[in-house]
Structures are given as structure tokens and as C-alpha cells.
Structure 1
């Protein structure tokens, strides 16, 4: 809980700090990478740094956390903290790195705001930072304890499937004789690859097979961005990684997971594009466990040919006794599927539905709005963002 004196100071200065948080985070990253270039080389996503999306996500999380502290002093934003903590442990973030971030972040705050950062203001925002940092450190310790601690394990590629022109599925087994710990449908692994310049870059990919499989399976969309740099890691995996090659993987993490099994619970699993990957794993789990309640399956894509894992998507849904499938394609749709963007108009959404969304932010925002208008409680709508959480960044500015 934020102290009363600090809460008053943060409330008074939040508009100023919030208004400058974008410039603050830009200078923060510049200063930290100047002091520690190895972090950009081997830990932080260079593509996100170049595009500025990581700065936006950090700014949004700080602003959202501070706003929550002053608006809801007796509550902790556990959902936000959990999402950040899972991402951190998948990267191997250690407690001592929070002191490094603190050093460069507060240097950037002083650099941008100058004399406005009085000792009182500095103390208040220092309290905000360490409340957030210590909460994350505690969550991350628990996650590390559950997974056996930070670290990387080598896995051998035993299968590769070209799902579409831009999506490939990789299947891997451990390169050592150790056991394969299970995971929860919806979770992801971090994959570390060594690029041509020697950098060891890390990306997260959702596991796209149902839990219980003896292999790790993830599906990778090749990122080709006309507005920015192409995906370094996705391009490397598509161009260079074949059966017999080895990759370094983290333990599975991620908090977009189905709750404890309730065979009668109504569910909605909505995806778009490569967001289908965790949704297919969830459908596989539901089919394996004999889920009997209604399941509304919704997916949007450019065309049927671009719909990765479509065979599994349909096959798992067909195994469920009360599933309703609705695919939307911008082009090439054939009955019973529809042409256009995802639109829930006319699709029954049962009372008490819990919704799980994964896909581009505009898609998730549109579906969330439609669901709330249909009476689904906001607390029952869960989402996964690939890359920096810019949904949170938007909330932090609102």
C-alpha cells in the first residue's frame, strides 16, 4: 500500500509524469543500453526497441500501476502484475536487475523533468517503483520455484510442418534424457536463438499442442513488416531451423490458461491470425478432458489458406458435444463460414460465458466490446498479447 503522503504526491504529479513518461522511457532505455549493451544484444527484443513498442509498454505499465495505487489503495493489480511476471521469468529476469532498471529509470526522470523532481516527488515515485518491483520479484520467485528455477534447456527439432506460406510448426524433444514437465494450455515458451551477428535473441511462442504431449510444439509466423524491420527470430527459424537442429527453450509460462475443469461451464475461444495457437491447445485440452458445456469457437483470418492449424482447430471442436464454430475470412470464405471481420451479431453467447481472446489488438478490443454489450462480465474476458502489452499501455494513458 502506498503511504498517504506519497499517494498525495503521486496523485498531484501523475499528469506531469504521465505526460512525459514516453520521453522518460525512451531516455531510460538509451541510458541503460549505453551502460549495458549486452542487454539489447541478448535479452531485449531488438525489433520492439527499434519500433518503440517496448517503450510504450513500459510507460503504460508504470502509469497504470501508479494510477491503480492512488485510485484503489487497498487493492493490488494482480492480473497486470501476473502477466508481466510470467513474461519476466520466461526471459530469466533476476531480482538484482530491478536495481539496474531503477538506477537508469530515475536518472531519466530527473533528466526529463529537471527541477520538478523535488526530494518529495522523488521519494513518492521511488515508493511506487519499489512497490511494483517487489511485488513482481515475489511473484517471479514463486514461478521460478514451481518451474525449477531460471535456465535454458536444449531441445532437438524432431518435426517441422509448413502450416501455411508464412507459418511453420516445430516439434521438439529434450536433447537430454530428462523428463518433460507438463504445461497448461495457453502457455508459451521462450526460444533463444543465435543470429548471424552473434546476438542471442529471445522470443515467446505459444505451445500449440494440448497438454500431455511428449513433445513441445509451437507455431511461428514469419514476421514481414513493410512499416518496420522484419522479424529477426521468426525469419531465422523459418530459413535455418530444420529437423535435427537444436534450440534453447525456457520452461512454460503464461497466465492465459483455462481454470480448473468445470465440465458444464460455457466458454468462448476467440482468435485471429496466429493468435490461434494457444486457442487450439485449449480446444485440445477441452476435448481430451471431455468438456460437456457449450463452447463457442470464433476465428478470423485473411483467407482459409492463411488459417494456420485449421485442421486441428476444426477437429478438436468436432470432438466437443456442444461446440459452435464460426470462422470469418476476408476473402475466400465458403459456407458455413462467413466473409468479413469477426462479428458476433446473431451468434448466441450463453449467460456466464468465460471468454479467452488472442490476436491483434484491434480484434481483441472489438470482440471485448461486443461481449460486454452482450452482457459478459469484463472480469470474465481474458486475453493474451504477443509482444509488448500495448493494450495495457493504452489503459495506462486513459
Structure 2
């Protein structure tokens, strides 16, 4: 809890700091990586750094957290903190690294805001930072403790036992312990981090949802190869170096460094109706949830909605159909931008997802994963249909831009 004095200062300076945070975060990362190049090479996502996604995510997190701290009658930032803490745990972040971030972040704040950072302002924002840091460290320590490991000790070497081409640009991998022993428990909806050593020597880490974890004998992940693209402003976006590396270089018998399972998008165990919505590769956590529901023979009312470019691009298309068929009373609806010569049906439609066509029970628990504009659109439609905001959970692949 912020002191009353610091809360007043933060409230008064939030517009200025918030407006400048987008300038502060790039300077912060530049300073930190100059002092600790190993962090850029071996821990942070270089692709997100190059595109500015990580900078925007950090700016959004700081601004959102500070706003919640000094606002009245707003919920505690538990969801925000849980999402960050789970990501940190999957990377093996430890408490000492918060000191490094603090030093270079506050140097960047002073560089951008100059004389506006009085001792009083610096002390207040320092309190904000450590309030957030202590909360995250506490959550992360709890995650490590629940996993039965020391802080940061999340890595294990697994072997690829099967590789399947799911679509032209997606490949699934089945992972197991080399000695065949059981894997740590995973909850439906969670992800693991995968670390690879790239040709230039960098150790880069990415997260992939668990598509299945049957009886702890193996894990399944699916990787979409991210090709180069062009942003709306004309900026060239490089190919995903880890996803392309995995596609080109990892086959049966190869070993990978994989973290323990983490993630706050976890299927609840209530009897409430479920609405599972995905687009593109966002189907992967949904597939993991459906495997769990089928394995436990649930009798919950389940509706599954998926949008994709075309049936030929839809990873796990047949698996999705088979899983829904195993659930009594479950319903599946597809939308494709291109159906080819296939005719549209009541459950396979041409175009973008349209929530108005779907029956939604008011007490539905919603799990949502896909590109950010897709999730924002679907979330808006769900709220308009009177689905409680607290019932809508989502997963973001990449830095979170902080859906409201």
C-alpha cells in the first residue's frame, strides 16, 4: 500500500509520467542492455525488442499499475500481476534482477523528465516501483514453491518423441523425459518456455501453450513459423527467429530446454457453461483445455468458436472436431476468410466471427485467445451481450498490451 503522501504525488504526476513513459522505456532498455548485454542475448525476446512491443508492454504495465494504486473504487491489480509473475517464473526470473531494472529505469526517468523529477517525485515513484516489485516477487516465490523448485530453477532437458506438420506453417512437437519418467503436473491452459541456442550464440526463449499433457507422460506444443512482414507504418518486421529455428532444425530424438508449466489462463473446475473462443494459432490453449475436458468426461455445457484464414491453414482442425465430438452436447462453430470450394454450413461460415449468431448463456465462463484486435472485438461483443467482465479470461501471445 502506498503511503498517503506518495499516493498524492503519484496522482498529481501521473499525467506527466504517463505521457512520457513511452519515451522512458526505450532509454531504459538501451541503458540496461549496455550494462548487461547478456540479458538481451540470453533472456529478453530480441524480436519484441526490435519491434518495440516489449517497451510498449512495460510502459502499459507501469502506467496501469500506478493508476490502479491511486484510484478509488477499482479492483486490485491481481490479474495484471499474476500474468506478469507467471511469465517471469517461466523465464526463471529471480528477485536480484529487480535491482538491475530499478537502477536503469530510474536513470531513464531522470534523463527524460530532468528537473521535473524532484526528490519528492523520485521517492513517490520509487515507492510505486518497489510496491509492484515486491508483489511480483511474492507471487513468483509462491509459484516456484508450488512447483517444488528453488527460485529460477525451472529448466529441464526434454526429448522430442514426435513431430507432426499440422498446417503449412505450424508444427507440433511431443516432448518427454529422456528416461521416460513422469513430467511435472500441468493445468489445462498453461504454457511452457522453450529455450534454444541460435547460430549467433544467443539463447532465446519463447512460450508455447501446452496442447496436451496426458497423465504426465508427455507434453504437446505447437509452433507457428513467423515469417517476415511489414507493419502498418511500413516498418519491416523480421521473422520469428525461434519459431523458424524450431521448424528448420528440431526433429524426433532432438533435445530441448523446457521450463516447468506456468500461466494464469487456467480452466476453472466449476460446472458453469464454457465458451472457448480462438483464432489462428490461438487454438492451442483451447485444444489443451478440450483434451482435459474429454479426459475427465465433463458434462459441462461447452461451446467452441474458432476463426481462421482457411481450412488448410487451420492447425489441429480435425483434432478440434474429434475432441468436441467426445463431449456430450458440445457445439463447434468455424469461421474462415476463405472456404475455397467448400460450401458454408450452419456451423462452418464464410467471413469473420460473428457473436450475434451464437447462443451465449449469461453465466458462461469465457476463455479467449488470438490476435489482439480479434480479442478486443470479441470482448466488446461479449460485454454487449451482458457477459460479466470478470467471466472473460484471455491469453496474449507476446507482450501484453493490457486489454482493458
**Fold match, TM over 0.5?**
yes
d(CA) in 2 for partners of 1:367, 1:284: 24
Give the match for residue 165 of structure 2: 162
Q: 2:279 aligns with which of 272, 286, 294?
A: 272
Give the match for residue 201 of structure 1: 204
Query: 1:265 offset after TM fit, Å?
Result: 1.6
How do 1:94-133 and structure 2 match up within 5 A? 94-133=94-133
Question: Contact conserved, 1:190 with 1:250, CA < 8 A, in 2?
Answer: yes
Question: Contact conserved, 2:213 with 2:219, CA < 8 A, in 1?
Answer: no
Does 1:321 find its partner at 2:321? no
Q: 2:387 aligns with which of 376, 381, 384?
A: 376
Query: 1:179 offset after TM fit, Å?
Result: 3.0
Query: 1:346 offset after TM fit, Å?
Result: 2.3
Query: 1:391 offset after TM fit, Å?
Result: 3.1
Does 1:40 find its partner at 2:40? yes
d(CA) in 2 for partners of 1:133, 1:17: 18
Query: 1:259 offset after TM fit, Å?
Result: 1.2
SS in 1 for 2:304: strand
Give the match for residue 234 of structure 1: 243
d(CA) in 1 for partners of 2:169, 2:79: 32
Question: Contact conserved, 2:213 with 2:220, CA < 8 A, in 1?
Answer: no
Bigger mean CA offset, 44-53 vs 180-189: 180-189
Query: 1:213 offset after TM fit, Å?
Result: 4.5
d(CA) in 2 for partners of 1:246, 1:210: 18
Question: Contact conserved, 1:183 with 1:211, CA < 8 A, in 2?
Answer: no
Q: 1:173 aligns with which of 168, 173, 176?
A: 176
d(CA) in 2 for partners of 1:311, 1:253: 27
d(CA) in 2 for partners of 1:74, 1:239: 48
How do 1:185-196 and structure 2 match up within 5 A? 185-196=188-199
Query: 1:178 offset after TM fit, Å?
Result: 4.4
Q: 1:219 aligns with which of 198, 222, 227?
A: 222
SS in 1 for 2:229: coil
Give the match for residue 248 of structure 1: 257
1:32-91: per-residue Cα shift (whole Å, max 9, x none)? 000000000000000000000000000000000000001148853111100000000000
Question: Contact conserved, 2:25 with 2:105, CA < 8 A, in 1?
Answer: yes
Question: Contact conserved, 1:192 with 1:248, CA < 8 A, in 2?
Answer: yes
d(CA) in 1 for partners of 2:186, 2:70: 37
Give the match for residue 287 of structure 1: 294
Gaps of 5+ in 1: none
d(CA) in 2 for partners of 1:329, 1:74: 39
d(CA) in 1 for partners of 2:69, 2:300: 38
TM-score normalised over the length of structure 2: 0.94
Give the match for residue 297 of structure 1: 304
Give the match for residue 312 of structure 1: 319
SS in 2 for 1:68: helix
Does 1:345 find its partner at 2:352? no
Question: Contact conserved, 1:47 with 1:231, CA < 8 A, in 2?
Answer: yes
d(CA) in 2 for partners of 1:324, 1:199: 45
Query: 1:22 offset after TM fit, Å?
Result: 0.7
Query: 1:195 offset after TM fit, Å?
Result: 0.3
Question: Contact conserved, 1:269 with 1:296, CA < 8 A, in 2?
Answer: yes
How do 1:116-155 and structure 2 match up within 5 A? 116-149=116-149, 150-155=153-158
d(CA) in 1 for partners of 2:333, 2:396: 22
d(CA) in 2 for partners of 1:341, 1:241: 34
Query: 1:175 offset after TM fit, Å?
Result: 2.4
Q: Which structure would you say has the larger RCO, counting Cα contacts within 8 Å and 6 or more residues apart?
A: 1
Question: Contact conserved, 2:180 with 2:217, CA < 8 A, in 1?
Answer: no
SS in 2 for 1:63: helix
d(CA) in 2 for partners of 1:47, 1:17: 26
d(CA) in 1 for partners of 2:328, 2:180: 39
Question: Contact conserved, 2:228 with 2:239, CA < 8 A, in 1?
Answer: yes
Bigger mean CA offset, 145-154 vs 21-30: 145-154
1:140-170: per-residue Cα shift (whole Å, max 9, x none)? 0000111122231111111000000000000
What is the total number of aligned residue pairs between the two structures?
A: 391
